[in-house]
Amino acid sequence: MSTRAHGFALAAGSGVLLALSFPKFGYPPLAWIALAPLLVALTQNVSLPRAFALGLTTGAIYFGGTLYWMSMVMARYGELSLALAVAINVVFVAYLALFPALFAVLTRRLSMVLGVAALPAAPFVWAATELGRTYLFSGFPWVLLGYSQTTVLPIAQAASIVGVFGVSAIVVSVNVAFAGIVAGRALRPAALVVVGVLLVAVWGSARVRDGALTRQGEPLRVGLVQGNALEEERDARGGGAEILKRHLEMTREAIAGGAALVILPESALSPYAFEEYPVVAASLREAARQAGVPILLGSDQYEWRGTGRTREVHKSFNAAFMLRADGTTGAVYRKMHLVPWGEYVPLKNWLTFIGPLVKAIGRGFDAGDEATLLPVASHQVSTAICYEIIYPDLVRRFVREGSELLTTITNDSWFGRTSAPYQHFEQASMRAIEEGRYLVRAANTGVSGIVDPYGRVLERTAIYQPAIVVGDVRLLTSATLYSRAGDVFAYASAVATLALVILSVRRRVQ
């Protein structure tokens, strides 16, 4: 095999291992070696353009293997042909692959000056590129490397200090150790990395075992309703009435099971909008009032302008309504971070070839602008709607405002029986560890569940099955280091990366 082919084989191997680290495949140990082949390839005598191509190869397979389901979603619900949906997804995956490509270029640039000694900088470079992926062009922080370790609780506890980006860096450091052994027989640095990771694991195990947060705060029994309403059912004649009836029956069942707060998923009442159908609203308000139990539900909300025949929708929001125990509306949270291609179409006036998708989405949603907390008696809780939960700083903002319980409501029926519902649930679980809060998740078709502040899954449903989950959580007020400091590690990594690149350029010039 030629040197060129060997390098691309290593890069492709990294992409495959990265993809296999996440659900459905979900083999977290693979993440600890996944980047090593790419790093070895980068220590060889390759040019910067070749490094870019190697990183792009890794990224294309990485994201192609974890985001394949997007083609199906656009074809099935966006009224696009399968070929066009696949083409759009290929472009999106290629964009995301630019971040591993940037990682490869920066790592190679440093190695041109420092040789194998540049490898220790790789964890910080990777964290910096993940930070960029989280925010650039509204961001898409799906399958960050740290999420591969959500179920590896001793390691995942590091998120309570350095967030998911820090967990990513820990994983990359082990990859660096393996690559250093292969490329430069760097046994002593590798041993130091292994000792460091073992210390993190020992501390994390002790933190989970102690479980102090599970003995703090006021207990609350929550009920999660998974109505399993398919999109086809919503569109069918009479489907809305049947869905409403089902959710009401399941809500009463959850209350009968002792729930002191009932949570219904995103789009729980679709095709109805809660405030626009008085009969629908009255039925849920009455359910809350009769039982004396607050109900959180997801539904569309509209702002109108004009009157009579000139009345039209001015703004529409994907919203969460908190009904108090007396049936009145306690607060409404409007989703702040919308899903591109699902809730709005970026550059829709320019991308004329996706006309069917634009038509299917319609005017789309408007973004909310306030991190509204939701009252439960004398306490405050928060909710993240759908994929908002994968944005660490957004959830941290709720906690800084005073949220004592994290909730998230979602409608994952769009994803089908793909990897997406499982990826989504594990990414949501990482927020519980970061913030030191219980997290409860009501998903229309699953996965619904309850996660404790250490990432332990207390309850979890299967997908595409009606389900009611009733379980105990605690309303907490203490703060983790991460909830106080935020993504300091990630931003410091970005600054360090920039400084190292500038230094490498200056040395090269001299």
Active site residues: 266, 335, 386
Dig out the tokens for 439 from the structure.
Answer: 């997290």
- At 402 the three-state DSSP class reads coil
- At 374 the three-state DSSP class reads strand
Q: Exposed, middle or buried by CB within 10 Å (0-12, 13-18, 19+), for 182?
A: middle
Dig out the tokens for 322 from the structure.
Answer: 């908190």
H-helix or E-strand containing 50? Answer: helix 48-66
Dig out the tokens for 73 from the structure.
Answer: 């979603």
Question: Do the beta carbons of residue 144 and residue 166 sit within 8 Å?
Answer: no
* Helices of type H across 330-443: 355-361, 392-401, 420-435
DSSP state of 95: H
Nearest to 365 by CA among 273, 296, 232, 236: 273
* Complete edge-to-edge strand list for the sheet that includes strand 374-376: 374-376, 379-385, 406-410, 439-443, 449-451, 457-460
| CB contact burial 441-474 (16+ within 10 A = b; e otherwise) | bbbbbbbbbbbbbbbbbebbbebbeebbbbbbbb
CA distance 128 to 165: 8
